[in-house]
Amino acid sequence: MNLGHWYGASRRDPRVVGLFSRHYSAVKNNKTTRHWLATGITAPGETITLMTADCSALFVWLKQKYIDNDQTGVNCAVFRNEGSELSSTLILEAEQFAWERWQGERLYTYVDPDAVKSKNPGYCFIKAGWKKCGITKGGLIILEKMP
């Protein structure tokens, strides 16, 4: 399926792993590139892995198999944009993939305000219509979007 800038990719694709390895969540997971190439970049569950044609942006939806918190719905497990396209545009396009597969599900993500360069963490999601709905015990901002 192709929608806008996104194309489907494997969560084990070396280009996906390369972009992911530069995402702040990759650093804190303390895994190796070899591990991600063998197992994929996400926790167990259903996934949609998207990459732009020029390989400058990555978006991963994860419907987790095992959940150890009170969040429900489909998680934006990774979003990284190293290209010139507006992040909010890419987010809006990626949402369509999630809602086609998981109709009526809540979308949510976490943003680590200490790990992003923005003075307004999560701003690109907010520009795409997402709302702040909480903060985890560890200080991550929780954002959500309802269908």
Burial class of residue 113 (count of CB atoms within 10 Å of its CB; 0-12, 13-18, 19+): middle
Please state the pTM of the whole predicted model.
0.85
Beta bridge partners of 60: 49, 78
Angle at the Cα of 97 from the Cα atoms of 134 and 53, rounded to 5 degrees: 110
Model pLDDT, residue 50: 95
- Average pLDDT of adjacent 10-residue blocks, the chain of 147 residues: 78 79 66 62 82 93 79 92 95 96 96 88 96 94 96
